[in-house]
Amino acid sequence: MIRKAIQAAVTVMAFLLSNFPAPAAQSERIGGIEHARLLGTLHLQGELFHVQGVDLDSQNIWVTSVDVRRHRGYIHQFDRANGKFLRRLELTDGARYHPGGFSISDHSIWVPVAEYKPHSSTVLVEIAADTLQIRRKIHVADHLGCVAVSNHFLIAGNWDSKRLYIFDLSNGGQMRVVRNPTGTRYQDMKFIDGQLVAGGLLARHSGTIDWIDFPAMKLVRTLRTGATDRVEPHTRAKAYTGEGMTLRGRELYVLPEDGPSRLFHFRLDDNAHLAGNGLSPEVALASK
């Protein structure tokens, strides 16, 4: 029995190491995201605190972060070409100072600003990207940590994204709440090509990127993610999908590390669309 138990443990460990290798020299690490190749990193030059979300437009990198010690929340703007800091806007709203994962749509930036505790309160803030003026606010009686934007809809995840809130802005902001169809604790999400694409954590150094059909809210496919090579004491998880994530076509960008932060640029390969729930490509396609 002991020998069988040892053999089983060795087999499990070999599987884990083959998919998420332990931190070593950076040159020894694989890309760290299933069906994706790491193209490079960009160091963001400027003060960032505990990073929460990231999104891009044609010229800028936008980042939300929370200064936990001073109870302050911000959205920061960086030059996409070189990572230089441009400006920032404080989003602190009394007890609400936690800006989460956010989304850009039609020159608007939608950011959830919440109390830093579960079962609390949030203000969903719409900001004009050019002037950084606040256009409107939606108050919600729960902590919301990430939001995606689709036409007239907002989809937001609460603490650990156990529940997803769906707001119909064309119908007076009417809201419905559904359960997260997966076990991933989403940190950032975007609405892309009719689907919700969400990245988050399974454990400290692993996570997933999930494609979820809308409005059915059913999981379509999953990519597993590993961790970065940064190892520091007293820091939060460094899984690639531990904080900010955004996607442009096959170009995937993740911002998992607190300041000083690196934006990681991956490219999804041709098989990325076949990955689904750990199943074979044939089963994944059949689920679409």
User: Can you list the domains of the chain with their CATH numbers?
Assistant: 30-286 (2.120.10.30)
What b-and-e string marks burial along 173-190, b requiring 16 or more CB atoms within 10 Å of the CB?
Answer: eeeeeeebbbebbbbbbb
Q: What is the mean pLDDT of each run of 10 residues along the chain (288 residues)?
A: 46 37 34 90 96 97 98 98 98 98 95 98 97 96 97 95 95 90 97 95 92 95 92 65 96 95 95 52 32
DSSP string of 146-199? EEEEETTEEEEEEGGGSEEEEEEGGGTTEEEEEE-SSS-EEEEEEEETTEEEEE
The pTM (predicted TM-score) of the whole model is: 0.83
In this prediction, residue 8 carries a pLDDT of 46
DSSP string of 21-37? PPS--GGG---SBTTEE
Alpha carbon dihedral 138, 140, 145, 147, in 10-degree steps, equals: -40
In this prediction, residue 274 carries a pLDDT of 55
Q: Residues 6 or more apart from 70 whose CB is under 8 A from it?
A: none
Cα 127 vs. chain centroid, distance in angstroms?
20
The C-alpha atoms of residue 89 and residue 35 are separated, in whole angstroms, by 36
Q: Rg (Cα) of the chain, in Å, rounded? A: 19
In this prediction, residue 93 carries a pLDDT of 97
Token pair listed for 160:
């650990």
Which DSSP letter does residue 258 get? P
Residue at 234: amino acid letter: H
